[in-house]
Amino acid sequence: EDQVTQSPEALRLQEGESSSLNCSYTVSGLRGLFWYRQDPGKGPEFLFTLYSAGEEKEKERLKATLTKKESFLHITAPKPEDSATYLCYPYNFNKFYFGSGTKLNVKP
């Protein structure tokens, strides 16, 4: 059965403390994966698309990587404004598979 698991469910970091969020999946016919950011009371906001194993994308303090079985969102020297829920959505030809997200809290 196709499924997505994001870990940890919640992560608390001090400002400047780097870490990584994990998205592991079993999706038949994987074509790619999206990362989104969701702030409280807002809708998901698109961050990255990754298409193939080995691909990396960067945006400010975020770097997303992709393997055949999982994706990582690395956060380098995070700031309080990086606090949000991060969602991964692998997809195949037919549909998206929505993870439940990692809630990141960065303390000053």
Partner 1 sequence: NAGVTQTPKFRVLKTGQSMTLLCAQDMNHEYMYWYRQDPGMGLRLIHYSVGEGTTAKGEVPDGYNVSRLKKQNFLLGLESAAPSQTSVYFCASSYSGQTNQPQHFGDGTRLSIL
Which residues contact partner 1 by CB under 8 A?
Answer: 4, 31-32, 34, 41-46, 49, 51, 87, 91-101
CB of 18 to partner 1, least distance (A): 26
CB of 73 to partner 1, least distance (A): 16
Nearer to partner 1, 22 or 98 (CB): 98
Q: What does the block give as tokens for 62?
A: 């975020």
CB of 58 to partner 1, least distance (A): 17
Q: Residue 95, class by beta-carbon neighbours within 10 Å (0-12 exposed, 13-18 middle, 19+ buried)?
A: exposed
Give CA–CA dist 85/105, Å, rounded.
Answer: 9
Nearer to partner 1, 28 or 93 (CB): 93
- 74 half-sphere exposure, CB direction, 13 A CA radius: 8
